[in-house]
Amino acid sequence: MRDRAELRRELFEAALIALVVTVCGVLLGALWAWLAPRVPLIADGSGNVYLQHVEGEEAIGGDGTFILLALGFGVVCAAGAFLFRRGGGIPLVVALVVGGLLGSVVAWRFGIWLGPTSDLGELAKEAGKGVPFDAPLRLQAKGALIAWPAGAMVAHLLLTGLFGPRDPEPPQPEWYPGGQQAPRHPQTPPPSES
């Protein structure tokens, strides 16, 4: 019965951790919308929209900002979960991964919602001909969504390895293979004659 109660407690804590990590996606999305570099666009007045700086790196900067923020969130969430539980376990790791994935999706969609509208025609009309305006926030590399769970798993593995509870040492056998009794005290070898 105690094992079932302990398993229930672990599953409840894992569900709670996954929920908290998922909700943290709102904060990640807000930070991403605030910190991501803007991609300047320009309209020619005939409905065509172009990049203002053709060789600009702002588009990849948005993905890079998301990845770095997500890795940081993964490390912080893993540290918080480790301090909360003072250990590891499969339910905790699954909670960090599931919560990290859901949190990344929440952050992605919330960041896009906070950013400029995705209607380029409306943005171009508001800005006018030849006036630069910000492109909608986009996450072009969808693989960035796994940065949060990956960061959380690596950080949790390191924390568990460095600060987690240790397994007890196995008892020493009283008999060696072959029927000989194990020595109780280490014996010093007889001095060699020279």
What value, to the nearest 5°, has the Cα angle with vertex 37 and ends 56 and 98? 120
pLDDT for position 186: 58
pLDDT for position 140: 86
Q: Render pLDDT for 17-73 as a digit per residue (tens, 0 to 9).
A: 999 999 999 999 999 999 988 877 777 766 666 666 666 677 788 899 999 999 999
For the chain, the structural domain boundaries read 18-163
- Which regions in the chain score pLDDT beneath 70? 1-2, 45-56, 119-121, 124-127, 130-131, 173-194
* Among candidate residues 125, 141, 139, 147, the one with its CA nearest the CA of residue 39: 139
pLDDT for position 192: 64
Taking the C-alpha atoms of residue 116 and residue 36, their distance in angstroms, rounded to an integer, is 12
φ, ψ of residue 121 in degrees (nearest 5): -60, -45
pLDDT for position 121: 67
pLDDT for position 21: 95
pLDDT for position 72: 97
pLDDT for position 175: 63
- A 10 A CB-CB count for 189 gives 5
